[in-house]
């Protein structure tokens, strides 16, 4: 009997700040670069709880989730292994500070993002800003 291989579930958060920016973190670990706050969902933990926990660990912010944005599951989205991420939109007040596996956290704006963004986060962030402009969510592929 073969043990099934399944994608690993993760949760990411687009943290909206009052000034229209979003929070991005610079990763300490490979792949190096900038990313949305997020990470692996622990056994027994909901995706929502994982998103809030990861955001707090990586930015120091207390995030209130306001909606589930989209699910991204392309095999190549993470070079380490096959993951599926549930992306949430949340809101927070305060000044983000890098923590846990984030070297630093910044507020970034459309057209002025640090780079490079790792994983498929450039796609996610682009989809988010398009959603904010048009009200259209990303299409399922």
3 in any annotated domain: no
Give the tens place of pLDDT for each residue, 6-34.
Answer: 999 999 999 999 999 999 999 999 999 99
Whichever domain contains 116, its CATH number is 3.90.79.10
Number of domains in the chain: 1
- Stated as kind and residue range, the H or E segment containing 24 is strand 22-27
Dist CA 139 CA 25 (whole Å)? 26
> Would residue 2 count as lying in a domain?
no
Helical (H) or strand (E) element with 120: none
> Residue 140: inside a domain, yes or no?
no
pTM: 0.94
Residue 130 belongs to what domain range? 8-134
Tens-digit pLDDT profile for residues 43-91? 999 999 999 999 999 999 999 999 999 999 999 999 999 999 999 999 9
Return the closest-CA partner of residue 47 out of 65, 22, 60, 24.
65
3-state helix, strand, coil in the chain (%, to 5): 20, 35, 45
């Amino acid at each position: 009997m073969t043990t099934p291989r399944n994608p690993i579930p993760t949760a990411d958060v687009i943290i909206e700040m009052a000034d229209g920016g979003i929070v991005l973190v610079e990763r300490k670990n490979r792949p190096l670069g900038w990313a949305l706050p997020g990470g692996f969902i622990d056994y027994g933990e909901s995706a929502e709880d994982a998103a809030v926990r990861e955001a707090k660990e990586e930015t120091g912010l207390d995030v209130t989730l306001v909606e589930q944005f989209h699910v991204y599951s392309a095999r190549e989205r993470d070079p380490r292994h096959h993951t599926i991420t549930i992306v949430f939109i949340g809101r927070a007040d305060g000044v983000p500070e890098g923590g846990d596996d984030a070297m630093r956290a910044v507020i970034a704006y459309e057209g002025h993002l640090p780079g490079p963004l790792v994983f498929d986060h450039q796609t996610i962030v682009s989809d988010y800003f398009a959603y904010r402009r048009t009200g259209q969510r990303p299409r399922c592929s």
